[in-house]
Amino acid sequence: MTNPSVIRYCEKIICPLTARVVFQLVALNLVPSSDWCLGGEKNLPGTSMAAIGVHLGCTCACVAVYKDGRADVVANDSGDRVTPAVVGYLENEVIVGLAAKQSRVRNAANTVDNVKQILGRSCTDTQAQKHISESKCLVLEKGGKPKYEIDTGEAVKYVTPDEVAKLIFSKMKETAQSALGSDINDVVITVPFDFGEIPKRSLGEAAVAAGFNVLRMIHEPSAALLAYGIGQDVPTGKSNVLVYKLGGTSLSVTLIEVNSGIYRVLATSTYDNIGGICFTEALTDHLASEFQRSYKQDIRGNARAMMKLMNSADVAKHSLSTLGSSNCFVDSLYDGIDFDCNVSRARFELICSSLFNQCIEPIKKLLEQVEFKANDVNQVVLCGGSARIPKLQQLIKDLFPEVELLSSIPPDEVIPIGAAIEAGILLGKDNLSTDLDTLTIECSASDILVKELDDAGANRFTVLLPSGTPLPARRQHILQAPGSFSSVCLELYESAGKSNISTEYKFAQIVLKDLQTKANDVHEIVTVLTMKRDGSLHVTCTDKDSGKSEMITVDETS
Amino acid sequence: MLIEAEPEHCTAVIKGLCAASLLCQVEPVGRWFEAFIKRRNRSISASFQELEDEKESSEESEDEEFQLEEFALLKTLDPKDWKNQDHYEVLGLKNLRYRATQKQIKAAHKAMVLKHHPDKRRATGEQIAEGDNDYFTCITKANEILSDPVKRRAFNSIDPTFDNSVPSKSEGKDNFFEVFSPVFERNSRWSNKKNVPKLGDMNTSIEDVDGFYSFWYNFDSWREFSYLDEEEKEKAECRDERRWIEKQNRAARAQRKKEEMNRIRTLVDNAYNSDPRIKKFKEEEKARKEAEKKAKADARRKEQEEKERQRQAELEAVRLAKEKEEEEARQQALLLKKEKEIQKKAIKKERQRLRATCKNWNYFAENEVESFKMMEEIEKLCDRLELTSFQSLNETLSVSTKEEGKSAVEKQIQEVNAQIKREKEQEEARMRQATRAGENSGMGGGGSSSRSWSEDDLQLLIKAVNLFPAGTNARWEVIANYMNLHSSSGIKRTAKDVINKAKSLQKLDPQQKDDINKKAFDKFKKEHKAVSTSVDNAVPSERFEGPGGDTTPWTTEEQKLLEQALKTYPVNSPERWEKIAEAVPGRSKKDCMKRYKELVEMVKAKKAAQEQVLNASKTKK
């Protein structure tokens, strides 16, 4: 309580205004906390309106922040927008990111990378076994679960892949927080489409352990679509999008149907044997043979020299995506010899030509699988760092000559940006349904078409309600008929496939009679189709001028 | 362009749709997905336009609930008596009361103002009371109270419609849940915490019941009674009066608050005491405890019995085993004795046989002397030969001729002689070894790795031992190091070697020690001479601390005398050292003290060395 004498002093001597201020302060002190508020609006206690999307890949992790309606990738403390998903254990500290990757040359046995390959998998899993055989860090099976053996001198530690993932997530959290300058918890995490239940859960638990509040886990291809906002503007229309993701250690191609703003995966396939690392390895091998040619020394047996060379090749590969040629320089590569070699982009493409073929082949296979032609694909989204390679983009462009190739966002940032956008959508929504993995919804089974005549007088079918539309759905079209007609007939057809439509697919017709003929004008018929969840269709046709209307209701044949 | 209809065409459904809706798995991504799920969860089948409609209608439905109920006696209210009016009723929020939102209050006030504003009524020709006397003031006042959260809370606290009654114990005896459930429900609105636990029913678990009562016993109420304040602070004319009013009000509020807490307390007490579940739990607990106690006692008794039985069995077993062992031992001894006897008998027999045979052949000799010698040899044979060789010898003798027998016997004799000789040699060797070992132990402590210690090394050792007195950290290692550094012999010695040697040196009698000292001194002198001849005015770079370097060595006799004197004159006797010096002829007081110090040192060193060895052996183990 303020001393009364102070108040009086204020009143008399200084000025009444000050006294009032003091009184107000006292009054404020009297106001109790706000939790007694009954029946009134609930105030959300200071939620920061920002959320982040995190993509944890095999080789790299990336975080994007959604704030003020925009999603953007934030750079980490070393200024890189992408953080290598490498964790190095030193004697008395653990380092994550670029520092760990660079110190791998000296600390290979205690450096963990590609942790995503083994996360949530048992030792008997084929992919896990591949990882165990490739990892420079010893992996042992303890209690049915794989663990990394970390020997930093004092004591041998056993680290689970989950803990490694947690460290990476913590790093991403730090990165986002330092960029935003505030604490942030809400996150959307991406998972590959081929991740099973257990790896997915492990990933989620690792994120929770890092202090995140996981809003949702979404599939990487969907995130890529969301980053480009495909189907997000208007909830009508239907298109097919191919997502081509060439990551560090894996390649995945996914075909997604976007209908009414909702994404549906038609087909997907993942190849674990090809990835960006293959290009680096091919380039490294070339450089090693160059070295052998110049100095008559084979360094392939020397693990450390190869690792140095590989780091250099990695840098060269990156710069070759933008430059015509790149210089590889390694000080004291082997036996004190400095190595210097110039690689042109053409040379690089020559070296990797077979790899490029391997990268393109899956697209063709996928299209065959769903019996699509190249023209059936409306858009192609590139993601994954290696999708930057110009030759690869060229090859994909050749494959889809008519199709828009989306690569305006840097390919390795597409997925986190999509995740951040999703986080922005989910932000502030309560009662989020968490169990969305097996979400199925009703969709219309077949296209609903109307027969029209084109200018040449041939039959033409216009899709009124495409197949795969989430139900319930309503579509409104304005159809036109020549003004000279006094009656108009809408013949409605349904078609399940792409085969030619014949009269046997006709299921209804709507006739509007006694229309006023107009010499130089057209009749505008407003057609509204409404399909319920059980698949029954209701069609209303109204002539815009006269207001005459007809409607029908069609149920499915049971 | 649509096609034209034929005249006979009419609107018709030809057939049903052949494919029903499909179930598709979709990606939970994007805003349209969220919208779709939201729509589906509300289970409203419509398209997006209808979704919008739905939103509006939901707001309307909210409004429907919010129905103003005009207060019938509104116009009769006295504005002066606003404190006693029911503000909710005045605004027409009789049904909503404390659940009404701020928005609703605002709306209600607006509606009331539209209807009852003096200007409006004046327009319709009604009589309006002047100034504050019109009943419209009541509406204003009601809004003033309800729109201010603090004031509203104060009013809510003393809500006139609230039933403050607390059911007594007897009321809740028969239908406890029916009586108490609504009371708790009613009072839970005062709770500061949300999610007030429910009373539950007969099947509620003990944890929940406990949680319920602990919640209500620690009930945190926001109810306060500032509304009932007698005086209004604002009315006070001066600050003293204001303060006095404040004080009064505070006291009244505290009193009421206390009463309120008492009320809640009584309610919970009554409920707790008449709660049939608590009774049930208590009984169950009691039964359980008793059962536990019984089980424990049973277990203890059983255990004791088991122990007793086990002990008995063990004793029995031990006894049996002992008996058996004794029996066996007896049998064994008997058997052994028998065997021995048999063997003895057999040997005796064989011996006699041999003698007989030899006698038969006249000891393979021609003359008396030879036969006597042979006889002696054969007696020796008889003494030494084993049973089996006896038998074989006798066999050969029995089947062979005299000459052959002679050679066989001679051969046997030779063998026996050789054996005897061998044994003798061995004995000698052992003797020799023993003597040598004795020497060794005298020299190098009998250590297995004892190496030759040259004179120089011995000197060096003594020097080192004195240089690093007992108590030096890792003394023997340091000494060994020192030795290795300075030794001219080039032999590497370990700490163990050094300890052994030093110990043996200590064991030496003073005479030998003196010998060594003398030698050391000679050597020192020699070296010094050499040095001084080579370097003019050279200062010796080494410190020499040989014991008694400048005095004659102590003889054994002197030593004995000294020891005697030390014993006769205890530590605290006055002028001890003078007396000791007198007791030892030829030695000064200083000498005696020095010698004593040396002895003490030696004893100490000995002890330290022993400890070291002990520790070493311990660590080895």
* pLDDT top residue among B366 and A435: B366
Assign residue A273 a region (left: φ > 0; alpha: ψ between -120 and 50; beta: otherwise).
Answer: alpha
Residue type, B67: Q
* Tokens linked to A220: 């990487």
- The answer to whether the CB atoms of A450 and B2 lie below 8 A apart is yes
Of A40, A445, A487, the CB nearest to B5: A487
* pLDDT top residue among A347 and B154: A347
The pLDDT-based confidence of B33 (bands split at 50, 70, 90) is: confident
* Tokens linked to B275: 């709660």
Alpha helices in A117-253 (DSSP H): 126-134, 161-180, 197-209, 220-227
Q: How many CB atoms lie within 10 A of CB A200?
A: 18
Report the chain A residue with the minimal C-alpha distance to residue B9.
Answer: A511
Is-contact A320 A343, C-beta < 8 A? yes
Q: What does pLDDT average to over chain B?
A: 77
Query: Which pLDDT value is given to residue A414?
Result: 92
Q: What is the pLDDT of residues B399-434, one digit of tens each?
A: 766 777 777 777 878 888 888 888 888 888 888 887
* pLDDT top residue among A496 and B581: B581
| pTM (2 d.p.) | 0.51
Q: Is the dihedral of CA A274, A276, A279, A285 positive or negative?
A: negative
Closest CA to A182 of A191, A173, A190: A173
User: Which DSSP symbol is given to A107?
Assistant: -
Query: Which pLDDT value is given to residue B68?
Result: 66
Q: What is the pLDDT of residues B472-506, one digit of tens each?
A: 777 888 888 887 777 766 677 777 887 887 777 77
Which of A203-212, B119-128, B215-224 is predicted with the least confidence, judged by mean pLDDT?
A: B119-128
Of B3, B31, B45, the CB nearest to A425: B31
What is the three-class DSSP state of B93?
coil
The pLDDT-based confidence of A352 (bands split at 50, 70, 90) is: very high
Q: What is the pLDDT of residues B89-145, one digit of tens each?
A: 888 877 777 778 888 888 888 888 888 888 888 888 777 777 667 788 888 888 888
Sorted by sequence, the CB contacts under 8 Å of residue B493 that are 6+ apart come out as B451, B480, B483, B484, B487
SS in 3 state form for A65-88? EEECCEEEECCCCCCCCCEECCEE
Q: What does pLDDT average to over chain A?
A: 82
Would you say how long chain A is, in residues? Answer: 558
Of B2, B7, B20, the CB nearest to A556: B20
Query: Which pLDDT value is given to residue B53?
Result: 47
> Cα–Cα distance between A129 and B598 in angstroms, integer?
76
Which of A82-96, B87-101, B441-455 is predicted with the least confidence, judged by mean pLDDT?
A: B441-455
The pLDDT-based confidence of B597 (bands split at 50, 70, 90) is: confident
Q: Does B52 reach chain A within 8 Å, measured CB to CB?
A: no
Q: Where do we find the tokens 């207060």?
A: B71
- What's the distance, CA B281 to chain centroid? 38
A16 pLDDT higher than 90: no
SS in 3 state form for B123-182? HCCCCCCCHHHCCHHHHHHHHHHHHCHHHHHHHHHCCCCCCCCCCCCCCCCCCHHHHHHH
Query: Which pLDDT value is given to residue A7?
Result: 45
What are the φ and ψ backbone dihedral angles of B171, each rounded to 5 degrees? -65, -40
> Cα–Cα distance between A267 and A252 in angstroms, integer?
11
What is the three-class DSSP state of A110?
helix
- The answer to whether the CB atoms of A554 and B13 lie below 8 A apart is yes
A102 pLDDT higher than 50: yes
> Cα–Cα distance between A94 and A80 in angstroms, integer?
19
> Cα–Cα distance between A36 and B157 in angstroms, integer?
11
Query: Which pLDDT value is given to residue A48?
Result: 52
Which of A362-376, B204-218, B393-407 is predicted with the least confidence, judged by mean pLDDT?
A: B393-407
- Hey, which residues does A452 pair with through a beta bridge? A460, B2
Is-contact A423 A51, C-beta < 8 A? yes
Chain B neighbors of A41, CB-CB under 8 A: 101-102
A433 pLDDT higher than 70: no
Percentage with pLDDT > 90 across chain B: 9
- The answer to whether the CB atoms of A511 and B99 lie below 8 A apart is no
- The answer to whether the CB atoms of B2 and A474 lie below 8 A apart is no
DSSP B221-276: B----GGG-SS-GGG-SSHHHHHHHHHHHHHHHHHHHHHHHHHHHHHHHHHHHH-H
ipTM above 0.90, yes or no: no
- The answer to whether the CB atoms of B2 and A481 lie below 8 A apart is yes
B366 pLDDT higher than 80: no
Q: Does B162 reach chain A within 8 Å, measured CB to CB?
A: no
Chain B neighbors of A226, CB-CB under 8 A: 29-30
> Cα–Cα distance between B315 and B214 in angstroms, integer?
59
Q: Does B220 reach chain A within 8 Å, measured CB to CB?
A: no
Q: What is the pLDDT of residues A28-77, one digit of tens each?
A: 333 333 333 333 333 343 445 788 999 998 889 999 998 888 889 999 88
Query: Which pLDDT value is given to residue A435?
Result: 57
**Can you tell me the mean pLDDT for B601-620?**
80
What are the φ and ψ backbone dihedral angles of B338, each rounded to 5 degrees? -60, -50
**Can you tell me the mean pLDDT for A6-31?**
41
Angle value at C-alpha A96, between A95 and A97, nearest 5 degrees = 130
Q: Does B149 reach chain A within 8 Å, measured CB to CB?
A: yes
Instruction: Give the H/E segment covering residue B324.
Output: helix B276-360
What is the three-class DSSP state of A239?
strand
* Tokens linked to A503: 């009269």
Which of A494-503, B288-297, B404-413 is predicted with the least confidence, judged by mean pLDDT?
A: A494-503
- What's the distance, CA A16 to chain centroid? 63
> B329 to chain A nearest CA, in Å?
56
Chain A neighbors of B19, CB-CB under 8 A: 445-446, 494, 496, 535, 556
* pLDDT top residue among A511 and B67: A511
Q: Does B123 reach chain A within 8 Å, measured CB to CB?
A: no
Q: What is the pLDDT of residues B502-530, one digit of tens each?
A: 777 777 666 666 776 777 677 767 666 55
Q: Does B10 reach chain A within 8 Å, measured CB to CB?
A: yes
Q: What is the pLDDT of residues A134-181, one digit of tens each?
A: 888 888 888 778 888 888 777 788 889 999 999 999 999 999 999 888
Alpha helices in B400-494 (DSSP H): 402-444, 455-467, 475-486
Mutate which of A36, A254, A450, A486 to disrupt the B interface (most B C-beta within 10 Å)? A36
Q: Where do we find the tokens 């001393």?
A: A3
* Tokens linked to B431: 């003797």
State the helix-helix crossing angle for B455-467 and B495-507, rounded to 10 degrees. 90
The pLDDT-based confidence of A344 (bands split at 50, 70, 90) is: very high
Please report the number of interchain residue pairs, chain A to chain B, with beta-carbon separation below 8 angstroms: 225
Query: Which pLDDT value is given to residue B448?
Result: 42
**Can you tell me the mean pLDDT for B433-441?**
64
The pLDDT-based confidence of A497 (bands split at 50, 70, 90) is: low
Angle value at C-alpha B474, between B469 and B479, nearest 5 degrees = 60
Query: Which pLDDT value is given to residue A345?
Result: 93
> Cα–Cα distance between A357 and A350 in angstroms, integer?
12
> Cα–Cα distance between A407 and A462 in angstroms, integer?
32
Query: Which pLDDT value is given to residue B123?
Result: 81
* pLDDT top residue among B151 and B79: B151
